[in-house]
Each structure stands twice: as C-alpha cells, then as structure tokens.
Amino acid sequence: MTTTIDNEQKTLNVPNLRFPEFEGEWEKCRVSDLLDFYSTNSLSWDKLEYGTNAIQNLHYGLIHVGLPTMVDLDNDKLPNIVSGNTPKNYELCQEGDIAFADASEDTNEVAKAVEFYNLNGKDVICGLHTIHGRDNQHKTIVGYKGYAFSSTAFHQQIRRIAQGTKIYSINSKNFSECYIGIPSKGEQKKIATLLRLIDERISTQNKIIEKLESLIKGIRNDVFGKLRKSVGFNAMISDVLSYEQPQSYLVEDTEYTNEGTPVLTANKAFILGYTSEIEGIYDKGDCIIFDDFTLDCKYVDFLSRSNLLP
C-alpha cells in the first residue's frame, strides 16, 4: 500500500492497493489537528512492577519492544505503578487512544506508535518518553490509527524532523508538520480488520516457532546429554569431533556467481554464493562449520565431491 503526501493539497493520492467498493480521495489531516495531547509521567522501571491491582503504566521501552501495534489487555501485559508513586495529575487512557515513543537511537523507531485497542476495564496511563494522543473529533475508528501511524508515509515525515545525534527525539509540537490520510470510516474498518487479522496470524506463527525452537532445544539437550554421559562428564570436544583449519578450503575469488560450488559461512547467510573454482573443495562428508567471531555454527550434510563438482 502506497500513499503520497503533498503539503499543498488537502487530499491524498489514494493507495494503489484498495478495497474495490471504495473510491474517492482520502482526507489529508494534520496530526496536530486530529489529536489532542495529554501530559505523561516520567516513572522509571524501578517505580513499576507486575501483578498488582494498581494503575498500569505504559513505559516507552514497551512500545519499542514487547507490545503489538494494537494493545489488547486481554492478552498483553503492562506493569503497575508501585504503591506511593502514582502521579498527582494524570489522564486515563481510553480505547482508541494512541501512544508514541518520543525518543530512540534509530530514526525509524522515533514516534513508533501503539493504539489502545482493548483496555479490558483497566486503568492505564502513559509514562516515560511517551506522547499520549486522542481523537476527540471521532474522525477515526478504534483500530485504524495504530496502523496509520505505523505507515511508511508517516515515518518518512518523522525522519525529516527528528532531532538529535545519538538519540533522536520529537515532541507533540512536531506533529503540526506531519499528516496522515483518513478515508471513510467504512474503509478504515476494512483496513483495520485486515491488518489486525494479519497481525494475529503472525502472532500465532511466532508462537508455533517458539514451541518448535523449544522442542529443538529439548531434543538437543537430551541427545547431547546422552553423548556427554557416553564419553564421560569431563569429555572434551576433541574427544567427539576432529577439528580442521579452514585455510585450505578458502576461495580466492570472492566475486561469487549464481551457480557452481557453494561457498559457505557459519553466520545467517550460510550460502554466500557460488564459485567455479575446483581447487580446495571440501569433500569429506558431513561437518560443522564454526564462526569464531559470532560463535554461530552450521551443520552441513550435503558436502561431497560428487554433488559439488559442476
């Protein structure tokens, strides 16, 4: 989905990807005209704890890591304020309110936003390094703003105005220079529903991945635990594996091609590319390659001269 923003026009060029039942231009709305802003607190992590009935507090660190775009307190957890630290003045969040992280070391993360989709009847306030906004004009539906403020079109504007050197920051006044697109509420609902369903699917897949990783860890511990017992508790790696320096297997030409003999690395890339060189090809069967810098390793079970030679 792409949206362009022109400061001279009052409407936005519509996205290329769109539900077919909708047509017409989107309203271009200045963020400072859309949202009213409320004061936030500066409570640090040592003033917060989990598992009590006190007011919950949104710390900016949770916006960066830990919370989805749509905060649903049926599933997501926020810390509570430690007794005796509740601010004297505060504004309770409402469903549909938006919270931005006002600082980050990465310009891509400045103004990262979450929307309070479901508060589940809990009292929540916004805390350290957050900007708390609310659409009191009801131009948007609950569930739309979080995705709108996560768009590339919005963050391209933020990157231009974020201030700082090592730490980049913004404040609510900066939003007078930023715009988002607002379609009809019917189209907002369609967009928000689709993106939320995708988010839920991603969350489900991530849980499956976590369970599989846990299973792999369990199997690995079991297998290698038995191996350790079979060779003795104080066995060395050299008792199980033979080590060989890789110098004789290094390629000379690092201008890799798309076919030929694979060139391997132990890091995430694994296969760097392919080479036509025929000298120094490893052909001794299964092995483990180890990166002594990142400590990454890869098990390789497809190395033999018969399937490596062109």
Which residues of the chain form beta strands (DSSP E)? 11-12, 26-30, 36-38, 48-49, 56-58, 70-72, 80-81, 98-101, 103-104, 113-118, 124-126, 130-134, 168-169, 179-182, 261-264, 271-275, 287-290, 297-300
| Residue 144: C-alpha distances to residues 127, 140, 227 (Å) | 23, 7, 54
Per-residue pLDDT, 110: 92
Per-residue pLDDT, 115: 98
Per-residue pLDDT, 235: 59
CB neighbourhood size of 184 (10 A): 13
For every residue of 118-176, DSSP letters joined together read E-TT--EEE-TTEEEEE-TT--S-TTTHHHHTTSHHHHHHHHHH-B-SSSEE--GGGGG
Residues 6+ apart with CB under 8 A from 21: none
Residue 69 near residue 150 (C-beta atoms within 8 A): yes
Per-residue pLDDT, 309: 42
Per-residue pLDDT, 269: 77
CATH 3.90.220.20-classified regions of the chain: 11-187
User: What is the helix (H) or strand (E) element at residue 60, kind and residue range?
Assistant: helix 60-64
Give dist(CA 133, CA 37) in Å, integer.
Answer: 5
Considering only the top CATH level, what class is 11-187? alpha beta
Per-residue pLDDT, 39: 95
Per-residue pLDDT of the chain (310 residues; tens, 9 = 90+): 445 555 555 656 556 688 999 988 999 999 999 999 999 999 999 999 999 999 999 999 999 998 999 999 999 999 999 999 999 999 999 999 999 999 998 888 999 999 999 999 999 999 999 999 999 999 999 999 999 999 999 999 998 988 887 889 999 999 999 999 999 999 999 999 999 999 999 989 999 999 998 988 888 777 777 666 665 555 566 666 788 888 888 888 888 888 888 998 887 778 888 899 988 888 888 888 888 777 788 888 876 544 444 4
